Chains A and B, each alone.
Chain A
Amino acid sequence: MNVDARPKIIGAAVQRREDPRLLTGQGRFVDDINLPRMLHIAFCRSDHAHARVLEVDVAAAAAMPGVVAIFTGADVLGTFNSIRATSRMADYYATELPVLAHDKVRYVGEAVAAVVAESRYLAEDAAECIAVSYEPLGHAVDVQANAEPGGPLLHEDAGTNVIVSRSFQRGDADGAMADAAVRVGATFRMHRKTPAAMENRGYVADYDPGRRALTLHSTTQVPGIVRDALEEMLEIPGNRLHVMAPDMGGGFGGKASLYPEEALVCLLSRRLGRPVKWLSDRLEDLLTTTQAFDEIVEAELACDEEGHILGLRADCLGDVGAYSVYPWTAAMEPVQVVSFLPGPYRVSNYRARARAVATSKAPTGAYRGVGRPISAFVMERLMDMAAAKLGLDPLEMRRRNMVRADEFPYKSASGIVWDKCGFMECLESVTADYDALRRQQAAARAEGRWVGLGLASYAELTGLGSRIAVAPGMPVNTGTETATIRIDSTGAVTAHFGIASHGQGLETTLAQVIAEELGVRVEDVEVIHGSTQGLAHGTGTFASRSSVLAGGAAIITARAVREQVLKAAAHMFEADAGDLDAAAGEIFVTGTDRSMSFRQLAKALYSEMGRFPKALREQIELQATRMYDPYFGTTSPASHLAMVEVDPETYGVTILHYGVADDCGRVINPLIVDGQVHGGVAQGIGAALMEEVVHDGAGQILTASLMDYVLPTAVEIPSMSVHHVEEFLPDNVSGFRGMGEGGTIGAPAALANAVSDAVGEDINVLPMTPERLYCLLNRDEE
């Protein structure tokens, strides 16, 4: 076989290995797991946002049919080691992860008691009969009130509700901005979101009393992190404690932290000696799954008369809910807001503060974009506001300030280093039809239609290596990923990873990478992921890391195995390893028609006596384990362009055009990267136009169903044009850049700018619902 004829697998639109089972209803999600003697949990949850728990009366509930046991906070206290999201940050209070509330409840929905019964139906019947008496404590719902001293404290030991406070600066922002030709600023508000994956959270804990071993089947994006945390809490060593994420119905970050229920099912399974299942229903999901994006940012931008940025100032107040999420800490989101605020622009003078304020709501956790949607929203609005003052088109404003190719690597004002990537290429690509769209807009405006154009450019740091923590001082290493690749005695290839694919198609993309590097076909590679079994260490899938880290590990590990394959084949061909190559499942002597299959090789090496001398066979291993650490991370930029029309009477917003140009480096599977962009943009559109978690003044959640937490449907999401710029990546074994989160980062910013352009008013609060637009545009008439 000719070397040039070797099929290119990386970059091909290979159909997904996951699809056949998912399309035929043969997937295996947590709720599909039913084990013999399995019991079901229903929770009694607090209906107070901030209260002391005085008494939990379970007598009536315990007598209900099918009830096996009921546990309160007092029943489980002391039966596990408590855990906190620690950090080396100063000015940080690490809250204890509650498994069941015992002395206090701190948000509506916090679990107070767990009923274990023969069925979920019966467990709920009993849970309804539990009588809890509370002593209400002062309201601690409002983030701005809680940021001031003197009000009710959610965590008395902290002495404050401000559980993170960080400041930093570069250059002299105040000095640079004092006499600037143009200064623009505002208070920006992004309201609270919830990831709302279609599959609710769920856990099946299966304790085997005979082996004193626990297997947790969990809807988790982070099986390795959960396993290591559970080992601390339960003192079951890792060789008897496994966490497995089966097929998962989305995560988006909402399944990327350790949950009280997750730990509790393990405790109870061990205590009862039987498998225990808990499935969240949608109400519980909307109440208790980690929420996100809830920030108030006061920000100001100053430029010279040519529109060049002179300085930037920001103060970010993050509403992080009642607890500091494990393991990321409450700092993760507010700090990322300010770290990424300067964006892909030249900013030399920057001063910023970020505070995380505890409130009586579900904890803030990871959600696609993590803080950067707010960074982009604020910065891109400021850019448009400055452009308007200067009479510059917003596109020109970006061109004048965007970091150029000859400035890479560029150290941003917050210390983040942007490596060589396609900042300007993305901007130019997405605005290829800009002039035509502006003409369309002008024509529409002449007819009295409110049409606007909005741009957003941003850069993410993805595929973080060990040098960069996901949140400041957070001690859990997420900068490495390990792969184990093995060719077995049938010649089949199995690859183990610590990542946990939940829609990203990593079973396919990683198989593509391995197939190309090893020389087999995609269908020959079985990717095992989402499980702590078979691996020494892993974390999971979050922060757009899997293609970079697992992909990188796949490449170096596959190369190691390939070397062994060629060494073994060299013996069998009686040729030099340098004259051999492998592709499509065949090893061959280049330039000849001598070849053998991987299967033949494996059989010869493992199973057929006398084919290899002992000494040689002992030197060959058709398996390897390698750890990959990119050390820094990869820069993943993009630009978005939106054209919207706002109905001048109803204030409904329609998206007429949506374009994305991103640089995700070397594309593994074009279908999959397009899908990630579409999905991310759809969530960004939801965040910009309709999604909002709403609490009343007493901390009761008003958005308790999917009729009230409004997710976009196929009608609200437009078709999009997506272009991938594949910029060569320096110093990276794979050439892949992380991607997947960008849609939520760019879309709210682009839409805020587009609607501002359409209505002629500053849109600084999201979501911009018809109600908000009505108030904004009609307040002058009152």
Chain B
Amino acid sequence: MIAVVVNGVSYERAVEPRMLLADFLRYELSLTGTHVGCEQGVCGACTVIMNGDSVRACLCFAVQADGAEIETVEGLGTVDDLNPLQQAFQEHHALQCGFCTPGMLMTGVDLLRKYPLATDREIREGLSGNLCRCTGYEHIVRAIRSVVGRSVVGRSVAGHER
């Protein structure tokens, strides 16, 4: 039995120890925004935020998340109310097929919280653990650049006011 809080909502579920956190989110909680690309921790598509840190949901078992607070892409914003990072992605055409995008966004959130990202080089290094096969990364870097240091009244880049 595990208890998790995901995007502010509490859940209690019985899980098999080997169930990956990514599968727990996708199948048990029907939060399919977190995508699975490799199950090896290389591609970064499954990145979520657990207790304030970006992590690979494919390298974590749901049982390890017992008692944790998890943020997934579904918690950032809604189609009618995108958060500033999501808006920046849209404005800069930072997504094409959208499969890597949830992982990019959650990594972006953690990078913005933890690093100054003073240069594009730093942004690129921060993103180097998230593979994208569509965009060639340029627009993603521009989208994140546009949000760095931006003071957005009433909204944190990293969360969604409820």
Q: Give the B-binding residues of A (Cβ under 8 A).
A: 15-16, 18-29, 31-32, 34, 121, 195-200, 247-250, 252, 281-282, 502-505, 671-672, 674-675, 677-683, 705-707, 711, 713-715, 717, 719-720, 743
Interchain CB contact under 8 A, B97 and A23: no
State A18–B99 Cα separation when bound (angstroms): 12
The answer to whether B99 and A199 touch across the interface, beta carbons within 8 angstroms, is yes
- In the complex with contacts A714-B141, A715-B125, A15-B133 CB distance below 8 A: no
Contact of A19 among B16, B89, B125 (CB under 8 A): B89
Return B14 CB to nearest CB of chain A, in Å: 14
Chain B contacts with A in 53-110, Cβ cutoff 8 A: 72-74, 76-79, 82, 86, 89-93, 95-102, 105
Min Cβ gap B42→A in Å is 4
Contacting pair A706 B43 (CB below 8 A): yes
Question: How long is the Cα–Cα vector from A93 to B105 in the complex, in angstroms?
Answer: 48
Bound Cα distance A517, B18 (Å): 55
Task: Collect the chain A residues with CB atoms within 8 Å of residue B40's CB.
Answer: 282, 705-707
For the complex, give the distance between the alpha carbons of A282 and B43 in Å: 10
Kindly state the separation between the CA atoms of A26 and B100 in the bound complex, as whole angstroms.
13
Can you list 30 residue pairs at the A/B interface with Cβ under 8 Å?
A15-B91, A20-B90, A23-B73, A23-B101, A24-B78, A25-B34, A25-B73, A27-B98, A28-B32, A31-B32, A34-B27, A121-B16, A198-B35, A198-B133, A199-B37, A199-B97, A281-B38, A281-B39, A282-B38, A282-B43, A503-B98, A671-B139, A678-B137, A705-B40, A705-B42, A714-B124, A714-B125, A714-B128, A714-B140, A719-B141
B31 at the interface (CB under 8 A from A): yes
Contact residues in A for B33 (Cβ distance below 8 Å) = 24-27
Q: How many residues of B contact A (CB 8 A)?
A: 60
Q: Does B35 lie within 8 Å of A29, measured CB to CB?
A: yes
B133 surroundings in chain A (CB, below 8 A): 195-198, 250, 252, 679, 682-683, 711
**A678:B97 contact, CB within 8 angstroms:** no
Choose among A198, A282, A680, A720 the residue that contacts B99 (Cβ–Cβ < 8 A): A198
**B51 beta carbon closer than 8 Å to chain A:** no
Q: Shortest Cβ distance from A93 into chain B, in angstroms?
A: 33
Given A25-B74, A198-B100, A678-B136, verify A20-B38 contact (CB < 8 Å): no
User: Apart from A198-B132, A714-B141, what 17 extra A-B contacts exist at CB < 8 Å?
Assistant: A23-B76, A23-B86, A23-B90, A24-B74, A29-B35, A200-B37, A249-B97, A282-B37, A282-B40, A503-B96, A678-B138, A682-B136, A682-B137, A713-B129, A713-B137, A714-B137, A715-B128
Q: Could you tell me if A25 and B102 are in contact, using CB atoms closer than 8 angstroms? A: yes
Partner of B90, one of A15, A281, A504: A15
B131 close to A (CB within 8 Å): yes
Bound form: Cα–Cα A282–B32 in Å: 18
Contact A198 B135 (CB under 8 A): no
Indicate whether B2 reaches chain A with its CB closer than 8 angstroms. no
How long is the Cα–Cα vector from A400 to B37 in the complex, in angstroms? Answer: 47
Instruction: Give A32 to B99 CA distance when docked, in angstroms.
Output: 12
- With most chain A CB atoms within 10 A of its CB, the pick from B18, B38, B96 is B96
Closest chain-B Cβ to A631's Cβ sits at a distance in Å of 30
B→A interface (CB under 8 Å): 16, 18-19, 26-27, 31-40, 42-43, 45, 72-74, 76-79, 82, 86, 89-93, 95-102, 105, 120, 123-125, 127-141
Q: How far is the CB of A256 from chain B (nearest CB, A)?
A: 14
Q: Which of the residues B16, B38, B93, B141 comes within 8 Å of A675, measured between beta carbons?
A: B93
Are B39 and A20 in contact, CB atoms less than 8 angstroms apart?
no
Q: B127 to A22, Cβ gap below 8 A?
A: no
Chain B neighbourhood of A18, CB < 8 A = 98
The answer to whether A720 touches B86, judged by C-beta atoms less than 8 angstroms apart, is no
- A504 and B139 alpha carbons, distance in the complex (Å): 14
Rounded to whole angstroms, the CA-CA distance of A24 and B37 in the bound complex is 18
- Cross-interface CB contact of A711 among B93, B131, B139, cutoff 8 Å: B131
Known contacts A196-B133, A717-B136; is-contact A679 B96 (Cβ 8 Å): yes
* B139: nearest chain-A partner, CB-CB: A675
CB distance from B83 to the nearest CB of A (A): 9
Rounded to whole Å, the gap between the CB of B21 and the closest CB of chain A is 14
In the bound assembly, the distance between CA atoms of A683 and B134 in angstroms comes to: 9
List the A residue with the shortest CB-CB distance to B79.
A20
CB distance from B95 to the nearest CB of A (A): 6
Closest 8 CB pairs of A and B: A25-B33, A249-B99, A22-B98, A678-B136, A503-B97, A682-B136, A503-B96, A25-B73
CB within 8 Å for A706 and B74 given contacts A24-B86, A29-B99, A678-B138: no
Q: Which residues of B contact A248 (CB under 8 A)?
A: 97
In the bound complex, CA of A248 to CA of B98 (Å): 8
Q: Which residues of B contact A31 (CB under 8 A)?
A: 26, 32, 35-36
Q: What are the residues of chain B within 8 A of A683 when measuring CB–CB?
A: 133
Asked whether, in the complex, the Cβ of B105 is within 8 Å of the Cβ of A23, the reply is yes
Contacts of A34 in B (CB 8 A): 27
Does A706 contact B76, Cβ atoms closer than 8 Å? no
**Bound complex: CA A699 to CA B37 (Å):** 25
* Alpha-carbon gap, A31 to B23, bound state (A): 11
Q: By the criterion CB–CB under 8 Å, are A249 and B98 in contact?
A: yes
- Nearest-CB distance from B104 to chain A (Å)? 10
Contact between chains at A199 and B101 (CB < 8 Å): no
- Taken together as a complex, chains A and B put the C-alpha atoms of A57 and B138 apart, in Å, by 51
CB-defined contacts of A682 to chain B, threshold 8 Å:
133, 135-137
Residues of B near A743 (CB, < 8 A) are 136
Partner of A198, one of B37, B73, B77, B120: B37
Which of A19, A198, A503 lies in contact with B45, CB distance below 8 A?
A198
Q: When chains A and B are docked, how far (Å) is the Cα of A624 from the Cα of B137?
A: 40
The reply to whether B90 and A679 contact each other, CB–CB distance below 8 Å, is no
Contacts of B120 in A (CB 8 A): 719
**Distance (Å) between the CB of A528 and the closest chain B CB?**
18
B142's nearest neighbour on chain A, judged by CB, is: A719
**What residues of chain A lie closer than 8 Å to B43, measured between beta carbons?**
198, 282, 706
**Complexed CA–CA distance, A135 and B39 (Å):** 33
Q: Is the CB of A674 within 8 A of B93?
A: yes
Would A32 and B32 be within 8 Å (CB), given that A282-B39, A679-B133, A706-B38 are in contact?
yes
CA distance A725 to B30 in the complex (A): 46
* A20-B82, A714-B127 as given contacts; A678 in contact with B89, CB under 8 Å: no
Q: Which residues of A contact B136 (CB under 8 A)?
A: 675, 677-682, 717, 720, 743
Cα A32 to Cα B74 with chains together (Å):
14
Query: Which B residues are in CB contact (< 8 Å) with A504?
Result: 96
- Asked if residues A24 and B32 are in contact (CB atoms below 8 Å), the reply is no
CB neighbours (8 Å) of A505 from chain B are: 96
A281 to B36, CA, bound (A): 9
In the complex, how many angstroms separate the beta carbon of B76 from the nearest chain A beta carbon?
Answer: 7
* Cβ distance A373 to chain B, nearest Cβ, rounded Å: 16
Residues of B within 8 A of A121 (CB): 16, 18-19
Chain B residues in 8 Å Cβ range of A717: 136-138
Q: B90 to chain A: which residues have CB within 8 Å?
A: 15-16, 19-20, 23
Alpha-carbon separation in the docked complex, A681 to B125 (Å): 19
Q: Report A-chain residues with C-beta under 8 Å of the C-beta of B130.
A: 713-714
Q: Closest CB-CB distance, B118 to chain A, in whole Å? A: 16
Q: Which residues of A contact B37 (CB under 8 A)?
A: 198-200, 249, 282
Q: How many angstroms from the CA of A704 to the CA of B125 in the assembled complex?
A: 25
B125 CB, min distance to chain A CBs, angstroms: 6
Q: A252 CA to B96 CA in the complex, in Å? A: 12
| A22: B residues at CB distance < 8 A | 95, 97-98, 101
Measured in the bound complex, the distance between the Cα atoms of B125 and A31 in whole Å is: 30
Listed residue (A197, A282, A675, A715) with the most chain B CB atoms within 10 angstroms of its CB = A675
